[in-house]
Amino acid sequence: MRASEFLAETIRKQGSKYVIYSKDGSKKLGTYTSRSKAEKRLKQIEYFKHMDEGWKDQMANAAMAAAITTGAAGAGMALKDVGKEVPAQEPTKQTVQVAPQQAKADLSKIEVPKKVDKPKPQASYKPLTDSPNEMVLAKTAQANGITGVELAAFMAQMAHESQNFKDMVEDNPNLKKYTKGPIARALGNKNKTDAERFIGRGYIQLTGRYK
């Protein structure tokens, strides 16, 4: 039921109750235990009735604004289509044509960033220990063209493998763990002879039959 139909409502007392009726008395709009509650409800009905009428005025004002901004034709469309969903229009595609000569000229103005070579790291090898083993290895490496960062990395690795050039034999003289057991099997050693024969020596110290 629309609020606009609630015109000139009245409150009637029926027994111990208060009933709100429409103007013609044909519609019962609510029953309440006290007159104050019935009056409160009646005020709410009146409020929504005016709200219902107010939206029509707002739509009429919107149509008048459309008439002013778009002309008579626009106003007619606005009044006719009030409350209807207007389908969205696809945006107009615009094509910009550029002459070939202009395109070439524009491409020629584009600056391509120059490739800048990153500076290579510079490092020089300095002896790590006073061991003769290190001196011999460094001279041999330099004689074969190993210098700079490559020489420094190479000597650091060799120092790690040989405990700073002090131990030139793998776990010397402990060969028991390379004779039998899980380590021996992993290295491929089958007996004590393999442990003695394939023990790691030198700077790299490759140990085991498999190596």
Q: What is the pLDDT of residues 107-131, one digit of tens each?
A: 667 777 888 877 766 667 889 899 9
* pLDDT in the model for residue 74: 46
The 10s digit of each residue's pLDDT in 36-94 is 888 888 888 777 776 655 566 667 766 676 666 655 444 445 445 555 555 666 666 66
DSSP label at 201? Answer: B
pLDDT value of residue 141: 94
Amino acid in the structure at residue 38: A
Both structure tokens of 43: 């005020």
Confidence at residue 97, expressed as pLDDT on a 0 to 100 scale: 65
At residue 106 the predicted structure's pLDDT band, cuts being 50, 70 and 90, is low
What single letter denotes the amino acid at residue 195? Answer: A
Above 80 in pLDDT, residue 101?
no
Q: Is this model's pTM higher than 0.75 or not? A: no
Query: What residue ranges do the domains of the chain occupy?
Result: 3-80, 120-162, 167-211
Spatial CB neighbours of 200, under 8 Å, sequence gap ≥ 6: 169, 170, 206, 207
